[in-house]
Amino acid sequence: MGKKKTYPLLVVSTTGSINWNKEYKMYFCPEDRNMNQPFEYLGFYGDKSIRGMGKVENCIVADHVNGGLRVRKFENPVTESQEKRVLQAFTDGKMAGHDDKYQGYKFYIIDENDFTEMNFCKLSSGGLRGFQYLNLRDYFGSKRPKDDSSQAIVELLEGKTWS
């Protein structure tokens, strides 16, 4: 019998940047932040709920140098689209104006075609401090998603809560 898929999700606190994260479909943090458990999906948390999630297509460590991008590490080959998105993240919105101060940041990039808004509420007291891993299979009950898309997963999570 094969290993059962767990649908691992990394939930990151994005309370102050959630609109930026949704727009760019990515999350960034210092390169040395230890997120060492494997995960396939990334969820954006704000106001006691996961507000959106998507399938991660790459993790890139990059520096902003002289207005350009220097990619130092990556999990998968970096596409032109991913490189443009990360460079735009350095020059627009939350990161704008910091120029060469942004060295050694890790970017978790969500597939542009696999991001779904949601409202998966956290019941336990307090907010999310930093990040948390969830095994989404634990919340499906006896059902399984029709495919691995975030849309199919969000449909199964409708009306459910987590803590």
% the chain with pLDDT above 90? 71
Task: Give DSSP secondary structure letters for 117-134.
Answer: EEEEEE-SSS---SEEEE
pLDDT in tens, 62-116: 988 887 889 999 999 999 999 999 988 877 755 554 445 678 889 999 999 999 9
pLDDT tier, 117 (very low <50, low <70, confident <90, very high otherwise): very high
Tens digit of each residue's pLDDT (9 = 90 or more) over 147-158: 999 999 999 999
- The CA-atom distances, in angstroms, between 19 and each of 27, 98, 122 are 11, 19, 19
CA pseudo-torsion sign 96, 100, 106, 108: positive
pLDDT at position 3 is 64
- Note the pTM of the prediction, 2 decimals: 0.91
What pLDDT band is residue 15 in, cutting at 50, 70 and 90?
Answer: confident
* Residue type, position 71, single letter: V
Q: Helix H segments across the chain?
A: 18-24, 80-91, 150-157
For residue 34, what is the DSSP state?
A: -
CB 42 within 8 A of CB 50: no
Stated as kind and residue range, the H or E segment containing 110 is: strand 105-122
Per-residue pLDDT at 98: 47
**126 in Cβ contact with 132 (< 8 Å):** no
Alpha-carbon gap, residue 136 to 153, rounded angstroms: 8
